[in-house]
Amino acid sequence: MLELMERDYCTMDDFDLEGKTVLLRAEFNSPLGPEGEILDDKRIRESVPTIKELEDAKVVLLAHQGRPGKKDFTTMERHARQLQRYVKQDVRYVDDIFGSHARSAIAGLEPGQVLMLENVRFYSEELLGLSPEAASRTIMVRKLAPLAQAFINDAFGAAHRSQCSLVGFTPVLPSGAGRLMQKEIDSLTEALKGGGEVVYVLGGAKVDDSIGVAKHVLEKGIASKVLVTGVVASVFLAASGIDIGGPNMDFLDKSGAMGELPLAKGILQKFGDKVVMPHDLAVNKDGKRLEISVRQLPTSFAISDIGHETIASFSDIVRHAERVILKGPAGVFEDPEFSAGTKEMLTAASNAKFSVVCGGHSAVLVDRLGLEDKFTHVSTGGGAAIDFLSGKPMPAIDALKAAKKRMMELISVRPH
C-alpha cells in the first residue's frame, strides 16, 4: 500500500499491483452492426491506458454488451479481439463468468496476461440494482473475489448503475478507480466548479437530461450562462410564451418533451437572465435551409438548427468563457443543410481554456471533425456524465469512496 492520495476515492497510484491478480471492470458496451461487428470502439480504446499500466499484473476483465432482450446483447469475444489489437499483448477470452472454466483460467494467469470473462449481464443478478453490501453476497462476487487482490473500476459509462460487477467487489477487496474513471471524475468535477465565466451549451433531443443539468448548475450557482440549442431551445422558447408553430409543438408532444415545459418555465422564472435562447433559427422548407428571426415565429416548418446570428453570438460567448461544457447537437446535424450550428458550436467550445463534451452524438461528431485533441475532455459516459452533471447519485463512484473510507478507518485503528 502506497501513501493514499488526497481524493476521496483510491486510484491505481494507491496500490502496488505488480504480480497481483486484478479484477478490472471496464466499459466496453459499443454500437454493433447487423453481423455483430463493433461499429465504434472508442470505449475499448479509452480503456487501453489503464490496461497498459497493469502490464505487470494479472488482469481479469469484467464488462458488458447490451442488455437482455436487445439485438446487441451478445458475447465479449469480439471485444477481446479488438482490445488485443490496441494493447499488443495476448487477450484471452473465456465464455464463462465465474464457473469452474473461468476460475481455472484466472488461476492460471501469469503477470502480463489479460483474461476477458463473458458478458456479466448474462448473469441474472447483475441487473437487480443491489446495494454494494447485497451485491457482495452474490455468487459472482463470492466466487471471483477470493481469486483477486484488488478491484479496479474503469467503467465510468456505467457508474450511474448499482450492479454487482460495479459495486459488489468494493466491500470485500481493496478498490480504486482506473485511469479513465479518474479522468472522467476529475474533468466533470472541474466542470461543476463555479468561479469565472462558466458556460453550459445544452442541446440535442433528450430534453429531460438537459433540463436536469440546467436546473442543477443554475441552482448551485455553477453556470454563468446556459445557452440552449436543438430541441431544448424549442422547449424553452415555448416555455417563455412564444408560439413556435404547430409542427414543432407536435414534435415536442410526440417526443415526450412537452412534459418538460413546466420545469423550463420554472427555470426561466428563477434564472431567466442566465438562460440564453436563440435569436434566429433555421427551418426546413422543402429540404432547404431557411433562416427566420424568432420574432417571425410561429412557423409551419420544422425548426432544424440555430440561425447564423445565433451561431455568431453563441460562439463569441463560448470563446470567452473560462469553462465550457457542451451536451448535444444544435440541430439535425445528420443533414448537411442543418449541421452548421452543431459544427460551429463544437469548434468554438474546442477553443475554450477548459472544455468538456458529453453525450454520444456530440462525442462522435468531435471525433469526425478531428477536434478531440482540442478538448480538455470528451466523456465516454452519456447517461453517466449527464447524471453526474445533474447532481444525481453515482452508485459506482460512491462505492469507491466508501471503500477508501473503510480502508482509512482500518489504517487508523491498526496498531503501530
320 known member of a binding site: no
67 known member of a binding site: yes
Q: What is d(CA 164, CA 121) in angstroms, rounded to the nearest whole number?
A: 10
175 known member of a binding site: no
Residues 51/59, Cβ–Cβ less than 8 Å: yes
84 known member of a binding site: no
7 known member of a binding site: no
How many helices and strands, by DSSP H and E, does the chain display? Answer: 17, 15
Q: What is d(CA 331, CA 17) in angstroms, rounded to the nearest whole number?
A: 47
Q: What is d(CA 397, CA 30) in angstroms, rounded to the nearest whole number?
A: 22
How many CB atoms are closer than 10 A to CB 322? 14
The amino acid that residue 203 corresponds to is G
Q: What is d(CA 116, CA 127) in angstroms, rounded to the nearest whole number?
A: 20
66 known member of a binding site: yes
82 known member of a binding site: no
Q: What is d(CA 333, CA 280) in angstroms, rounded to the nearest whole number?
A: 17
Q: What is d(CA 167, CA 62) in angstroms, rounded to the nearest whole number?
A: 12
The amino acid that residue 337 corresponds to is E
179 known member of a binding site: no
293 known member of a binding site: no
Residues 229/202, Cβ–Cβ less than 8 Å: yes
196: left (phi over 0), alpha (psi -120 to 50) or beta: left
259 known member of a binding site: no
Residues 373/202, Cβ–Cβ less than 8 Å: no
Q: What is d(CA 153, CA 398) in angstroms, rounded to the nearest whole number?
A: 12
The residue among 175, 186, 226, 183 whose CA lies nearest residue 203 is: 226
161 known member of a binding site: yes
334 known member of a binding site: yes
Residues 201/175, Cβ–Cβ less than 8 Å: no
Instruction: Return the sign of the alpha-carbon dihedral for residues 227, 232, 235, 239.
Output: negative
User: 492460471: which residue's cell?
Assistant: 108
- Beta bridge partners of residue 303, listed in sequence order: 283
Helix-strand-coil percent breakdown of the chain, rounded to 5?
A: 45, 15, 40
Binding site, annotated residues for substrate: 43, 64-67, 121, 161
Binding site, annotated residues for ATP: 334, 359-362
Binding site, annotated residues: 43, 64-67, 121, 161, 334, 359-362
